[in-house]
Structure 1
């Protein structure tokens, strides 16, 4: 499903954990309580949790020139410091390479037990299709209302 032969790649920021993991992907730009709760709940199901962080160019293409606030390396380092996270990788590739098949191709070698996402995720259907294609479960977790990076950034800029 790659666009023009271009594919997504994953660069691990530390050791790749053993065992079949639960995988969560996203931007994770300004870490907040919603992120922490989501990741903790996913890890509490007893499998190693690995997190894929979208690289800076992909985030900028999707969210605009002011994003991300933190670099992919910084976001990966912060996520790696969380007790619930067993490993982190950075997802790179052209921003238009973003369909469920592209992610399935990238994640298949991990043989994930499940793909984790939050309720209301705009990519819910794609994550369900990707999980199904890999023989994994799709785990939906509750959303922590009124907590998103975009909402936090809007609140901060309104103060100035």
Structure 2
């Protein structure tokens, strides 16, 4: 009987129909033992407790894409479009913290600083174009491998956020 229960529980887990804590509770109930340790909890989301979730790593991942290529290299325009898309998508639901951006800039190598200077104007322009006319940018974004549906996203706040990002990254207002 225990073998049958184990097989059924294993199949349910593989099928994604049962969560690990529920399976361990069922197994404990079937064997007559009680679970004494609490099930692990998920990390709180920003919506539950904004202060509990550190987005520094996410922000750095977005910023790293700004210097991950050279705009003057083969495929540069598509890489620019992809970097702009990642930036717009992130800014549509979150902010890039000025202190994180400043620290990130400080940590750049000379080569990365040159790439930022080279890439940023095109990325900013493409990001503004995505916000202004997502449908008009769709073909280029698809060619760049971007699958995000910007036409159905709320992008109204992104242009103002782009101004802030531009100010921090270039030291120039606007």
TM-score range, shorter chain: under 0.3
Structure of higher CA gyration radius: 2
TM-score for the superposition, normalised by structure 2: 0.25
User: With CA pairs under 8 Å and 6+ residues apart, which has the higher RCO, 1 or 2?
Assistant: 1
